Amino acid sequence: MSIALAILSVILIVMSLYGAVAPDKLTTLVRGFMTRDGVWFAVAFRVLLALLLWFSAPVSHTPMTFKALALLAFVAAIALPCIGSQRLLRIIDYVASWPPLAIRFQCLLGAAFGGFLLWSASPGVGVS
């Protein structure tokens, strides 16, 4: 489980750094992805993240944080279909209207979060 979480963390870091370098391209990519099927993919991604966090927690550096994040990811997965793709598109359009520096900052926070997940999962991967 920790290896899968580490891979997911690297993907999160790469996508976040891509958004920090090209915020307009990332928002266009996300907007194009947010169809009805895209919402269900996002739900599946969050459920997968929740499961990986929950089952990796015992071997991580931060087990209680992983369990809390797992619950948060699961709640987010439940919330997405309730929000709906049209509202999500309006949120994406709102974020796309932010200054590029603000979007870059948010993406750097995402990269830092991915780095935290990678570091915290490292004992389960065999790296300490």
Average pLDDT of the chain to the nearest whole number: 92
Structure confidence at residue 38 (pLDDT) = 86
Q: Residue 60 has which token pair?
A: 């991580």
pLDDT of residue 64: 97
Statement: residue 128 has pLDDT above 60: no
CB burial class (10 A; 0-12, 13-18, 19+) of residue 2?
buried
Predicted confidence at residue 127, as pLDDT, reads: 58
Q: Which among 53, 56, 45, 46 has a CA at the least distance from the CA of 69? A: 53
DSSP H helices in 2-99 = 2-21, 23-33, 36-56, 63-83, 85-96
Q: How far is CA 27 from CA 21, 34, 82, 87, in A?
A: 12, 11, 22, 15
The C-alpha angle with vertex 61 and arms to 49 and 110, in degrees rounded to 5, equals 45
| Contact (CB, 8 A) for 70 and 57 | yes
The domain spans of the chain are 2-125
Does the pLDDT of residue 126 top 70, yes or no?
A: no
114 pLDDT more than 70: yes
Q: What is the pTM of this model?
A: 0.87
